[in-house]
Amino acid sequence: MQNSQLKSSQRISAVKLTSANLEQSLRSLKTQFCCRLELLSSTKTAAMENGEIPENANEHCPGPNSETAGKSDACQGCPNQEVCATAPKGPDPDLVAIVERMATVKHKILILSGKGGVGKSTFSAQLSFALAAKEFQVGLLDIDICGPSIPKMLGLEGQDIHQSNLGWSPVYVESNLGVMSIGFMLPNPDEAVIWRGPRKNGLIKQFLKDVYWGELDFLVVDAPPGTSDEHISIVQFLQATGIDGAIIVTTPQQVSLIDVRKEVNFCKKVGVPVLGVVENMSGLCQPLMDFRFLRMTETGEHTDVTEKVIEYMREKAPEMVDLIAASEVFDSSGGGAAKMCREMGVPFLGKVPLDPHLCKAAEEGKSCFVDQKCGVSAPALKHIIEKLMTNYWPEEMAVEQ
């Protein structure tokens, strides 16, 4: 009798547990379904605002920007009829404001990458430092909404944006180097930015039309990796103002170059010239005396013998003290970025080695050009920047000289 009651109780508990799980699963499915509906709706609305005809439109759709959108006979029964009828018509008035704001900016450069973690933001920061050191008026715009690292790399963490009657004021590193990033707006630097495409696009548009840069020689735009909403938006918003082109940053291995090819094709499709490709982290290079020397024991532990090795070199082989040691970190047997550039018909700007001192400069928000510490990477970066100036902005070189 007791066993029978126990089994009955267990069955009732199992039913209750199953019922509770089912209710929780249904709630979860409902939430996911609503999120997907919201995503589809926001994506469709954004596309229609850009003048694109939805895939599910009627056969003779007049277009969402037409004065008869949502009102003509061809719109009857279309699932988008209400959205089209109430959507704003004609050209986006914000684009006019962007054109006016960008009229005082001579050159606009996009910094792109196929993958994250290739040093794109480091290159953007050091390019901006270098141009400012040449006495140019420089602006650095960070449109990596979800991963804004530019404030850290410019030494501006904790700074705030101020507003004046002219618009938002950039945060300045020097009097001729201003920076704008969503990183200045976050109440907590660890705060995650969980935004969908339309909201990201809205902030990028606001950066372009509301930030008062003043007279600029160069506006460097640090974009997130890939070819997503941010890239389409920045090209669309700046196209009427003229974009000088894009610099694409990669590492030597094929895993990165596969996505860089997509980035090059993206630029070709949207009509943005590729100014060139930079192969970053092209081998580890640093002075031999900066290395630590270790001896591995039989148990796999490491013993530091750096002092002994350096003392021995100074006594027995002093000519080795000034040597630079180099090692391949990524596999470049496939020809690296140089080969890819030849195949795709785009300029190859050069290689920048993986330099621990450059990494430290980025962590500290400093320029790698101000002292001799970045003795391996700084000359490589300087050579690339000089090549860019000579090939694309010779008139600015003449003014500088």
Q: Which run of H or E residues covers position 395?
A: helix 394-400
Q: Which residues carry a binding-site annotation for [4Fe-4S] cluster?
A: 61, 75, 78, 84
Q: Which residues carry a binding-site annotation?
A: 61, 75, 78, 84, 114-121
What is the identity of the amino acid at 351?
Answer: K
Give CA 237 to chain center in angstroms.
Answer: 17
Q: Which two tokens stand for residue 154?
A: 């410019």
Cα distance from N-terminal residue to C-terminal residue, the chain: 102
Q: Which of 373, 148, 179, 346 is nearest to 265 (CA)?
A: 346
Strand segments, DSSP code E, in 5-164 are 105-113, 138-142, 162-164
Q: CA–CA separation, 33 vs 39, rounded Å?
A: 10
Q: Which of 309, 322, 114 is nearest to 226 (CA)?
A: 114
Question: How far is the CA of 224 from the CAs of 117, 191, 221, 231, 282, in angstroms?
Answer: 10, 18, 10, 8, 21
The string over 355-370, giving b where at least 16 C-beta atoms fall within 10 Å of a residue's C-beta and e elsewhere, is bbbbbebbeebbbbbe
Q: Which run of H or E residues covers position 349?
A: strand 348-354
Q: Which residues carry a binding-site annotation for ATP?
A: 114-121
Q: CA–CA separation, 252 vs 280, rounded Å?
A: 7
